[in-house]
Amino acid sequence: MSRFWLFSVSLLLSGIACAEDTTQPQTEAPENTDIKVPSPWEGQVELGYQAHSGNTNTEALNTLLQASYTEGRHRTTGQWKLYKLVRETYKDKRKSDYSLQSDYKLGPKRYLYGSFKGTDSNYTAYYKDYTLSAGLGYQLMHTEKVTWEFELGPGYRYQEPNVDEIDSNDVVFDDLIQEPIIRVNVKNNWAIRKNLNFYADVTVVTGDSNTIYTSDVGITNNITDDIALKLSHNLQYYDKVPEGLLKHDGIFTVSVLVSF
């Protein structure tokens, strides 16, 4: 009989324990707290139309591919441009421009940079036009809306003229150029409004053969998150030009940008 009561009590206690377990609120599964890390890669494709002014009356279709990679203190940006030129009544000509720059952060505002810019063409005034530079960069301002960067450093310039293609209106001397240079660059980006951005990029490259001032100023209007309309003007000013030529050339560009 005692065994029966012990068995009955044990069943009762087991039932109470089970009831308490079922009445306790179930612990919810933890939410997914994974943080989405943005990709270190960014890229753009540009398709556009150019109108040249100054020493030449030229129209061109241009294609641009740009990519950048940022990780930790390092930032690397590469760019490739292809132009299909239609120069007045002359045959079509093609030109390829490319650049590569790598930066390394030294602190909140200072960084080291290495820069390469080149032009290759079998149809225009230069077969090859290369500029290599390295030095120190400084962020004058960096906010959500405005960024100013300044770069200064020594470098080297190599220019191989295409003597067979030099026209009377080309700003080029028929000498092979191999010389040290000083490069200065100032960049500005300004988010005027949510979908409207202004940028300016001014570069000065000076050496014994010539000093060239290049400014690239433009505005982009985002149509969607990935597509934008771009209007830009590029101006080159030369310290020395062949006799009878203007010291400046301009390029106005209308293009569509696709980001990825």
**pLDDT above 60: residue 212:** yes
Confidence of residue 243 (pLDDT cuts 50, 70, 90): confident
pLDDT band at 221 (very low <50, low <70, confident <90, very high): very high
**Superfamily, domain 41-259:** monomeric porin ompg (2.40.160.40)
What pLDDT is recorded for position 170? 73
Is the confidence at residue 32, as pLDDT, over 60?
Answer: no
CA dist 32 and 37 (Å) reads: 14
Residue 190 clears pLDDT 80, i.e. is over it: yes
- What is residue 10's predicted lDDT score, i.e. its pLDDT? 44
CB neighbour burial string for 25-53, b if at least 16 within 10 angstroms, e if fewer: eeeeeeeeeeeeeeeeeeebebebebebe
Question: Residue 254's pLDDT is what?
Answer: 93
Residue of 204, 224, 228, 231 lying closest to 215 (CA atoms): 204
**pLDDT tens digits, 126-182:** 778 899 999 999 999 989 899 999 999 999 999 988 777 666 667 777 789 999 999
Indicate the average pLDDT of the chain: 82
pLDDT in tens, 91-142: 567 778 899 999 999 999 999 999 999 988 776 667 788 999 999 999 999 8
What average pLDDT score do residues 232-244 get? 89
Within 8 A by CB and 6+ apart from 232, the residues are 216, 217, 218, 219, 252, 253, 255
Closest by Cα among 161, 206, 157 to 178:
157
CA dist., res. 142 & res. 41, Å (int): 21
Is residue 62 over pLDDT 90? Answer: no
Task: Answer whether 134's CB lies under 8 Å from 111's CB.
Answer: no
Cα-Cα-Cα-Cα torsion 197, 248, 47, 159, nearest 10 degrees, comes to -120
Task: Locate the DSSP E strands across 88-176.
Answer: 92-105, 110-120, 126-142, 146-161
Q: Domain limits of the chain?
A: 41-259
> Cβ contacts of residue 148 below 8 Å, gap of 6+?
139, 140, 141, 142, 186, 187, 188
For residue 28, pLDDT beyond 60:
no
Residues of the chain with pLDDT > 70, as a percent, come to 78
Model pTM? 0.78
